[in-house]
Structure 1
Amino acid sequence: MTFLKSLQKVVTALATAVIVFSVVSFSGSGVATAKADTALPADTDSSLQLDAKAAIAVDANTGQILYAKNADQALPVASMSKLMTAYMVLQAIDNGKLKWDQKVTPGKAAQEVSQDTTLSNVPLKEGHSYTVRELYQATLIYSANGAAMALADAVGGTQKNFIDLARKEAKKMGLKDVELYTANGLANGEVKDGKYPGAADDAENKFSAKDMALLSQRLIKDYPEVLKTTKITRMKFNNGTDQTEMENWNWMLPGLAKAYSELPVDGLKTGTSDSAGACFAATVNKDGHRLITIVLGAKHDSQEDLSRFEETQKLMSYCYNNYTYASLAKGTTFKKTNALPVYHGKELDVKVSLATKTDVWLKSGVSKDQLSAKAVGNKKLYKKDGLQAPLKKGQKVGTLQIKAKDQPMYFLDGTDYLSADAQTTTEVKKANIFVIGWRAITSLF
């Protein structure tokens, strides 16, 4: 027993010395590193001739980009800006700062703008109060400019404070090509006394198609109840004396002028101005797989122009005709995926598989067999250069970066791979002190 104890002390001392004074090398440590943005091509598929300045189509769940045209170019978006206002209202309700039945008395600027019959509006009476819900519905369904400003006052206290809050929120979302001046998308000088101080009268809100898609994705993910409002085709607004018949400007909704009969379009928001042209953020759900499409700067000759809806339908049809939706089950493994290193494990590495079901859009002619994945470990679980043993079977230990052969991939987060949680395929017990010591000794030589 005395000899064994002495041997154990020697082995432990040697192991400690080697660990402190040398680096044990593991092949392919796979520790997570900072993401690098992958630049989008100016046009991901020139065969699709869209008559618009910019466009993008993305999967609402994963953020996979199926098509992009000038998607990083900041352009005027007019009333599509109201999606940010809607997000801020829903966030304030979620945080308890606002309530749906809370009464709001529109400020002077909001009330004045609401009386402009050349704009999309529900007329708000001076000194009269409206519920947050009524103003929210008017903003999303009828694109009411005065109502959007009244909501901005309710959220921020003033128009300026609201814009400052919205700018901070945009930054938190990771929106990079955004300019915000008004809550409704009108030019700064068009919102009367509500204009943003220090900015020119012709300053107007701008988004890139990519950032508008990211905002739309966040809105649907964080507050899916927004779709209950954006899919309403018609509703009446009571301004206290008269009623305004509101018809949704999204004419792709069922029963309206450009309804997409094959698929249930249920949102999101149009935008129109001389500088922005005809714009549209749309979303459609087919077999539980939701797409978001953005069209900016389509032809705009009159209020009755259908071009943005025609270009949107063309974009949606392109996605469904050129891609298949592939589901990847939990436990799926991929060819040539690197194992992750294990620190002081009985085994020195562990293989991984998908920890949760995920999905990917594959171009026609590309199959799931052509998918490959790189395993990247969660550095929070690492000690030295490996995952710290012991590890359970099925334990989440990092991510898989999934790519497809012969199909470039692009995502809203700037990566060129589908990121999914990775789990261990087997358990790994911790090695005993003799094994650890022996490895330390052999590593010296």
Structure 2
Amino acid sequence: MKHKLKAALLLAALLAMGAQAPLSAATTKKAEPAATQKAQGKTAKTAKATKTASGKSAGKSAAAKSSRAVAGKSAPTKNASSGVARKSQLAHESPRKHVRHAALADMDTGRLALYSASALVIDQSNGQVMLEKQPDMVVPIASISKLMTAMVVLDAKLDLQEIIAIGDEDVDGLKGTRSRLPVGTTMTREAAMLLALMSSENRAAHALGRHYPGGMHAFVQAMNRKAHALGMYNSRFEEPTGLSSNNVSTAHDLARMVAAAARYPEIRNYSTTAEAKVELNGRIRDFHNTNALVRNDNWEIGVSKTGYISEAGRCLVMQARVADRPVVIVLLDSQGKMTRVGDANRIKRWMESASLAVERPRV
């Protein structure tokens, strides 16, 4: 009985062991796929992580590449800036480009509108003709003649304090011009010269010629000799006032005459006096210069003389300093009362513009 029981227990044990083995195998098989799946999951995660890492790495590489590309775009800008800097540096290191100083001869005189029929500007320092317009045209010169009258009187070394009188012969019978010097007025020869040059008094100028040694005929001869001596070969004088249209000259000749007149201190003084009080017949009379420019502070005038008769038009000659140059200006036959003054101012501005057109210092 006991043996049967033992056998039964042994068989049960064997059966239990047999049943356990397939269960373990199944469990092992079941665990195996789970492990594999887990391993595969881990591998997948690893792969994903790797992929992600690779992606990030690739992203970083792309970003780096992109950054280089931007840097590459920026590089030319930097290089361009460097180029500008180098160019600027070279500009400072390289020799400065020469800028030619402007000269009056280079100025376009064709754009200088002058309304005088004949005009001439000469630089006295070198004799250079700066501007000319029909300078050799022979024309009546009106009271410009009085500069020659004054030179002839001064050349004769006559007493300037001698008293002379205005006579009937001095009255203008040619043009009928008026005068502030009545017949019978007495004055010194000096006062007569002052009034002739400053206020263009015709009776004073005529009296100077009439009181010349040998009379008027000798005086006119002396005027023409003086003109010839100065090289004024296209000039002719018939009387001392300029009222006659037969007193003729050219701009070139008058430039010679003005330059010569500037050597006489008396002419320089009297012709540029703006105004004067002169005692005539016991009365003090005021006289003014016929050239308004002598009262202009912007002008530095050494010799001045105006002139007018209908045949000559408005005339003006001056020796002056313009743009730091000594010049002689001749303007003949200007139409309109202020045209000669306007032309003189235009010439002055033109000269000053030329002198200012110089090389500016490098900054």
2:249 counterpart (207, 211, 223): 207
Q: Which runs of 4+ in 1 moved over 4 A?
A: none
After the TM superposition, which residues 140-289 of structure 1 pair with which residues of structure 2 at under 5 Å, given as runs?
Answer: 140-187=197-244, 203-221=245-263, 223-254=264-295, 259=296, 261-286=297-322, 289=325
- CA displacement at 1:315 relative to structure 2: 1.6
Alpha-carbon contact 2:293-2:299 (below 8 Å) kept: no
Distance of aligned partners of 1:314 and 1:156 in 2 relative to their CA distance in 1, 3 Å threshold: farther
CA distance in structure 1 between the partners assigned to 2:315 and 2:213 by the alignment: 27
CA distance in structure 2 between the partners assigned to 1:123 and 1:117 by the alignment: 16
3-state DSSP of counterpart to 2:212: helix
Q: Name the structure 2 match of 1:122.
A: 180
Tell me whether 1:299 sits opposite 2:335 in the alignment: yes
CA distance in structure 1 between the partners assigned to 2:314 and 2:111 by the alignment: 22
Q: Which deviates the most, 207-216 or 240-249? A: 240-249
Alpha-carbon contact 2:307-2:314 (below 8 Å) kept: yes
- CA displacement at 1:73 relative to structure 2: 0.7
Alignment length (residue pairs): 252
Distance of aligned partners of 1:225 and 1:135 in 2 relative to their CA distance in 1, 3 Å threshold: closer
3-state DSSP of counterpart to 2:109: coil
CA distance in structure 1 between the partners assigned to 2:265 and 2:124 by the alignment: 11
In structure 1, give the amino acid aligned to 2:321.
Answer: N
Aligned Cα root-mean-square deviation (Å): 2.6
Q: Name the structure 2 match of 1:53.
A: 117
Tell me whether 1:100 sits opposite 2:136 in the alignment: no
| Larger proportion of helix | 2
CA distance in structure 1 between the partners assigned to 2:154 and 2:352 by the alignment: 31
Alpha-carbon contact 2:258-2:303 (below 8 Å) kept: no
- CA displacement at 1:156 relative to structure 2: 4.3
CA distance in structure 2 between the partners assigned to 1:287 and 1:319 by the alignment: 6
Unaligned runs of 5+ in 2: 1-107
Distance of aligned partners of 1:156 and 1:211 in 2 relative to their CA distance in 1, 3 Å threshold: farther
Unaligned runs of 5+ in 1: 1-43, 188-202, 325-363, 367-445
- CA displacement at 1:323 relative to structure 2: 5.2
CA distance in structure 2 between the partners assigned to 1:52 and 1:136 by the alignment: 28
CA distance in structure 1 between the partners assigned to 2:126 and 2:153 by the alignment: 25
CA distance in structure 2 between the partners assigned to 1:156 and 1:275 by the alignment: 31
- CA displacement at 1:45 relative to structure 2: 3.3
Which deviations, in whole Å up to 9, do the C-alpha atoms of 1:139-188 show, x marking residues without a partner?
0111000100111122343222211111111011100211211100002x
- CA displacement at 1:63 relative to structure 2: 2.8
Which deviations, in whole Å up to 9, do the C-alpha atoms of 1:67-111 show, x marking residues without a partner?
111001111111111011111122122xxxx1121122344311x
3-state DSSP of counterpart to 1:113: coil
3-state DSSP of counterpart to 2:254: helix
Bigger Cα Rg:
2
Q: Name the structure 2 match of 1:308.
A: 340
In structure 1, give the amino acid aligned to 2:352.
Answer: Y
Alpha-carbon contact 1:77-1:205 (below 8 Å) kept: yes
3-state DSSP of counterpart to 1:155: coil
Which deviations, in whole Å up to 9, do the C-alpha atoms of 1:44-77 show, x marking residues without a partner?
9322221111000112344322111100111111
Alpha-carbon contact 1:121-1:147 (below 8 Å) kept: no
Alpha-carbon contact 1:141-1:229 (below 8 Å) kept: yes
> Please, what TM-score do these two structures have when normalized by structure 1?
0.52
Q: Name the structure 2 match of 1:87.
A: 151
- CA displacement at 1:122 relative to structure 2: 3.2
2:134 counterpart (59, 62, 70): 70
3-state DSSP of counterpart to 2:116: coil
- CA displacement at 1:224 relative to structure 2: 3.4
Distance of aligned partners of 1:225 and 1:241 in 2 relative to their CA distance in 1, 3 Å threshold: closer
Alpha-carbon contact 2:261-2:268 (below 8 Å) kept: no
1:113 counterpart (147, 157, 172): 172
> Please, what TM-score do these two structures have when normalized by structure 2?
0.64
